[in-house]
Chains A and B, each alone.
Chain A
Amino acid sequence: MRYHLEFADLWPYWPQFLAGAVTTIEFTFVATVLGLVLGIVGAIARRSGTAWVRVAAGGYVELVRNTPFLIQIFFLYFGLASAGLRLPVFAAAVLAMVINVGAYTTEIVRAGIEAVHPSQIEAAEALGLSTFQIYRDIILRPALERVYPSLTSQFTLMMLQSSITSQISAEELTGAANVIQSITFRSMEAYLVVGLLYLLLTLLLKSGFWALGQVLFPRRRRLGTAL
């Protein structure tokens, strides 16, 4: 018996697909912003002069990077629920994503910071800049410019990874497909459609990050060279 792919059955469900895609975008946006903040804090903590801060930040990074995201979500969502803290799915999903991507971002930002030559900091000190100003203007800005490509591909991976939050019934794109296929029994078609939508989202995200980079880093835009 030959099976015919039948996409027409899915057509009535386009609002659900769209809603799922929008949720995926929301997850990605929030997790990117908070994950970057966490990554910057983590990177600074990993270079802290206080030993326990350094060790704690290092432990966080290694634990997160060496365990599956799915286990992290289950641990957080079901674990907190068993302890009496019932997080809304949206919050649990985003929290897990932020914790996860924050660990990767920590390492990326740290690499960027370590590439800033100590003589740059010395020059800034000699000009009378404060520690905070030096961190912001002389260390973080060029560090972020330098690692921007790695950062954006990490955030793109995270967008794809957000599909895993469907396993705690988050209604993002994959979650939407799970629901729709259970109603229509058009499983293959439903996942092909979201696969295509993810591809589009990936392209969208990559172009978005590229455009943002053009705005944020005028030096790179004008000279086209790496820092």
Chain B
Amino acid sequence: MGGLSLNYFLYLLQGMGWTVALTLLAFALGGLAGFLVMLARISPVPAVSRATAAYVQVIQGIPVLVILFIVYFGLGILEIDVPPLVAAGLSLTAYTSAFLGEIWRGAVEAVPRTQMEAAECLALTRWQALRDVILPQAVRIATPPTVGFLVQVLKSTSLASVVGFVELTRAAQVINNSTFQPFLIFGTAGLMYFVLCYPLSLWSRTLERRLNVGRR
């Protein structure tokens, strides 16, 4: 079995760059949408919070791959000529928003109720109390699982290969189709993912340990 030629390696590296780009895109947009999901989930208006809960249930009950197909073919139906990046970005955004929304809601609800009561007794509005009292405390709780979820998003971007977006997994497939050295090619691609994900996993764990120590 021959080694991996430099050209192929560079091609994989390029794919890795697109993987990072897609991850950042999905995480940024998904984070924004997730923040709205979180706000809607803790809304005092039951209709809003229930509708959002349903949205979360639906997204979390369907495989990302199927969401991707629905978005991809859905946009196609509207006769918009969609680049695969847009389809992948949109579906990963939806996926990210549901999970981050839930993670962040959990963090907000982990802040003791008495904090909200204390803030309200100081005549802060609900929004002020949220912004100045609750969220700063929730951020500390939310950071470790959020970083942990970033790893999930990064891994999920591999699905974009299915609609032909040339990120790391697609790049590996392309090379494997001409060289047929699957252990070498997919092994290398796997290691590249590992190099991206493992530091994030470690960071998430460190943050969580620090948080637990701080709480004790």
A and B touch in the complex (CB under 8 A): yes
A135 at the B interface (CB under 8 A): no
Complex CA–CA separation, A224 to B68 (angstroms):
39
B193 at the A interface (CB under 8 A): yes
Complex CA–CA separation, A59 to B77 (angstroms):
45
A residues in contact with B189, CB < 8 Å:
71
B58 at the A interface (CB under 8 A): yes
B69 at the A interface (CB under 8 A): yes
B70 at the A interface (CB under 8 A): yes
CB within 8 A of B67: which of A63, A71, A195? A195
Residues A1-31 near B (CB distance < 8 A):
1, 3
Residues A28-69 near B (CB distance < 8 A):
62-63, 65-69
B residues in contact with A152, CB < 8 Å:
none
CB within 8 A of B182: which of A81, A166, A203? A81
The dominant DSSP class at the B interface is helix
**Interface contacts beyond A74-B186, A75-B190: sample of 9 additional A-B pairs, CB < 8 Å, sorted by A:** A62-B201, A65-B201, A75-B182, A79-B182, A160-B64, A167-B162, A195-B66, A198-B63, A199-B57
Most buried by B among A63, A66, A163, A202: A66
B198 touches A78 (CB 8 A): no
A217 at the B interface (CB under 8 A): no
- Report the interface size for chain B: residues with CB under 8 A from the other chain: 43
- When A75-B186, A83-B183, A188-B77 are in contact, do A70 and B158 touch as well, CB less than 8 Å? yes
A residues in contact with B69, CB < 8 Å:
174, 177, 187, 191
A82 touches B198 (CB 8 A): no
CB within 8 A of A188: which of B62, B70, B158, B181? B70
A138 at the B interface (CB under 8 A): no
B186 touches A164 (CB 8 A): no
Residues A122-163 near B (CB distance < 8 A):
160-163
A198 to chain B, nearest CB (A): 5
Interface residues, chain B, CB within 8 Å of chain A?
Answer: 57-58, 60-67, 69-70, 73-74, 76-79, 151, 155-159, 161-162, 169, 172-173, 176, 180-183, 186-187, 189-190, 193-194, 197-198, 201
The dominant DSSP class at the A interface is helix
A194 at the B interface (CB under 8 A): yes
A172 to chain B, nearest CB (A): 10
CB within 8 A of A69: which of B62, B79, B155? B155
A87 at the B interface (CB under 8 A): no
B176 touches A78 (CB 8 A): yes
Most buried by B among A62, A63, A174, A195: A195
Complex CA–CA separation, A66 to B173 (angstroms):
19
Interface residues, chain A, CB within 8 Å of chain B?
Answer: 1, 3, 62-63, 65-72, 74-75, 78-79, 81-83, 160-164, 166-167, 174, 177, 181, 187-188, 191-192, 194-195, 198-199, 202-203
A residues in contact with B65, CB < 8 Å:
163-164, 166, 174
CB within 8 A of A66: which of B74, B157, B162, B197? B197
A68 touches B61 (CB 8 A): no
Closest CB pairs A-B (n = 4): A78-B182, A163-B63, A66-B197, A68-B158
B161 touches A70 (CB 8 A): yes
B197 touches A67 (CB 8 A): yes
A74 touches B173 (CB 8 A): yes
